[in-house]
Structure 1
Amino acid sequence: MGRKAAGCGLGVILAVVLVISFVGWALSFLGGQAPIRQMRPVPVDMPPARGAAVPAIDVHAPGRTADKLTFWADPLAAEIGVSSAAIRAYANAELIAQDAWPTCNLSWNTLAGLGYVETRHGTYSGTLFNSRQIDENGYVLPPILGPALDGSPGFAEIRDTDGGRLDTDTEYDRAVGPMQFIPTSWERFGLDANGDWVADPNQIDDAALSAANLLCQGRDLSVPEQWQEAILSYNRSNQYVINVRNAAASYALGQPAS
């Protein structure tokens, strides 16, 4: 036992020495600077600045047009800490909005601000180690269902409106998908964006375009008051507006939201 214990102690010491040596070696390549990214201060302007310009694509082409933005979205995804699938969806929605509602002036990073606050871009699961994923076809797996809107503290009471078709709940409605639409809102604003002719709140392209549809209803989002009104139409909370603005402004700076 004594020799085994001594061996373990030596192993720990050697491991510590190796770690210290590695850190010293790494720092020698960084001019003595720790490899910690310095985030820029987030502006409080409203609306937030526009994010990186989206390259033009043919949004009327058949199929999933968001995929045409992969070359642009992949490096940006690594920079701002958002999946490429989500960025492509938001950018695709911006381009469709430019075509469909040219006076709306919607930016992809405003949609990304909403997506961050609502579900962390479709990855939120409520636990640290079991985050959701967006699959290769843009579907959030497993699907996101919000709490039952049963009138409990902090929640409105909305009795079932869709027979559980979207939210699987036949007693109360629930918010569905990465952009968290309740069934009645989806019925009004839901649109197809991935070219399969089905508007699905669990598909990130569809959800992003449908959020754009909601925000752009008779609004010019380059006007501060109308941008704020649009975000409030999503959630009647001033703190919600601030949270969305901060996330969108961070993405405009090319850095993760926090």
Structure 2
Amino acid sequence: MTGKQKAMLIGFLIGPFGGFMLLLILIAAVMGANMSAQAGEAAQPGVVSSVAGIPPVLLSAYNNAVANLPKLRPNCTGMTWSLLAAIGEVESTQAAGSSIAANGDINPPIYGPVLDGSGVGGNTTAVYNTTDAEKQLDGGSTYARAMGPMQFMPATWISDGQDGNSDGARNPQNVFDAALTTATYLCGTGTTDLSKPDQVNAAILRYNHSQAYVDEVLKWKTTYDQMGQNAGNGSPVPGGSARGQAVVAAAQREMAANIPYSWGGGGTNGPSLGYCDGTNGYLNGSCSASHTVGFDCSGLAQYAYAQAGVNIARTAQDQYDGAPTKIPLSAGLAALQPGDLVFFSLNPGTGKGIYHVGIYIGGGQMINAAHTGTNVRSESVWMSSYTGGGRY
């Protein structure tokens, strides 16, 4: 376009109708920018605001690592908060025993066993901190120890550690730094697609060269994927009370361990042998419960609440009757919080004839020991016989 043509176009825009047309153009541009921004926000996958059993700052660190990973590993795709959370669970039970500050620092610091070859933690070969930097990072220890919530070795951290909270430091005892370092370490330096089973398996093996470790991490990833069922659209998964989170976390662990159903099995001390009563506990015509260490529905509920420091009755009906707060059927699932008990009856809404109980985890889902032949699992609340909830 020549200078004269540009001048003619500008003159047209500022002519009698040009101001109006220019206004329309500006409005369209602003609307387009807003729509693009909204689309960008909606396109952020895998963000959850609260998951029972994971401290809020730590969950924020997992989400932050996923969001920042493309800047550091542009050829790595498929990273999820649930994979990072699974490793955090296996390595430190989500930084259990330490408080987490808003900036991500944990106190007290987390250290693994001293790798002096004594056999503690399965280690039979001494591993030394060979440089002053490694010793300083490891609290002055001559023998190496894994450090922080994600359990990095000192030498690995020095070479691979990341600054996840942009404070200018790389600290293995900071959850933002540790989560981002875990993400980059899993990705490696090549092209990786962690949505593919073979590649995520290889990535976890790179983190810890043990197939048993890989299997344990993948179990927890599946558990957290189920817990964060709304992760794909950014909708919050309600966290509930601290007590409720502890209840859910206890049930999650039994689910991840694939504890089987056993009629009459389980209680405050964990899974146990069940029994058969002439009707229940049988599988394929023989008594399964008498030789199966596991939980029935109310045994699982009693155990999970015991882990949160609350003693409740042993049977589903007594658990319903003893709940200080009842959530009526008419209130719907929206009135429930994670950790609440959900009860099922042949006469829904009456509170009588209760035959089953589950542990609500949010999003219309529960963890329960369903029946003989199954393991502790998560599934949708059985609305056809749901009779209400109970809160302790």
Range of TM-score over shorter length = 0.5 to 0.7
Report the alpha carbon displacement of residue 73 of structure 1 after superposing the two structures with TM: 4.8
Task: Report 1:22-171 matches (<5 A).
Answer: 73-74=48-49, 76-77=50-51, 80-105=52-77, 106-123=79-96, 131-153=97-119, 154-155=122-123, 156-163=125-132, 164-171=135-142
Larger Rg: 2
- Give 2:302's aligned residue: none
User: 2:203 matched to 1:237?
Assistant: no
Aligned-partner Cα distance in 2 for 1:202–1:162: 19
Report the alpha carbon displacement of residue 56 of structure 1 after superposing the two structures with TM: 7.2
- Give 1:226's aligned residue: 199
Greater share of strand = 2
Report the alpha carbon displacement of residue 55 of structure 1 after superposing the two structures with TM: 5.7
Aligned-partner Cα distance in 2 for 1:193–1:98: 13
Is residue 150–residue 172 contact of structure 1 (8 Å, CA) maintained in 2? yes
Aligned-partner Cα distance in 2 for 1:86–1:161: 31
Q: 2:183 aligns with which of 212, 227, 235?
A: 212
Matched residue type, 2:82: N
For the aligned residue pairs, the C-alpha RMSD in angstroms reads 2.4
- Give 2:225's aligned residue: 252
Greater relative contact order (Cα 8 A, min sep 6): structure 1 or 2?
1
Matched residue type, 1:112: A
SS in 2 for 1:174: coil
Count of residues paired in the alignment: 183
**5+ unaligned residues in a row in structure 1: which ranges?**
1-53, 59-71, 124-130
Aligned-partner Cα distance in 2 for 1:233–1:244: 13
Matched residue type, 2:161: G
Q: 1:196 aligns with which of 121, 146, 167?
A: 167
TM-score normalised by length of structure 1: 0.65
Aligned-partner Cα distance in 2 for 1:122–1:57: 30
Matched residue type, 2:183: A
Is residue 116–residue 143 contact of structure 2 (8 Å, CA) maintained in 1? yes
Distance of aligned partners of 1:57 and 1:208 in 2 relative to their CA distance in 1, 3 Å threshold: farther
Matched residue type, 2:98: R
- Could you list the runs of 4 or more consecutive aligned residues of structure 1 that deviate by over 4 angstroms after TM superposition? 54-58
Distance of aligned partners of 1:120 and 1:188 in 2 relative to their CA distance in 1, 3 Å threshold: same
SS in 2 for 1:253: helix
Matched residue type, 1:132: S
Report the alpha carbon displacement of residue 86 of structure 1 after superposing the two structures with TM: 0.9
| CA deviation string 1:155-179 (max 9, x = no partner) | 1421113432111134211111011
User: Identity percentage over the alignment?
Assistant: 37
Report the alpha carbon displacement of residue 100 of structure 1 after superposing the two structures with TM: 2.8
| CA deviation string 1:73-121 (max 9, x = no partner) | 54x23xx321111111011101111333233221111010000000011
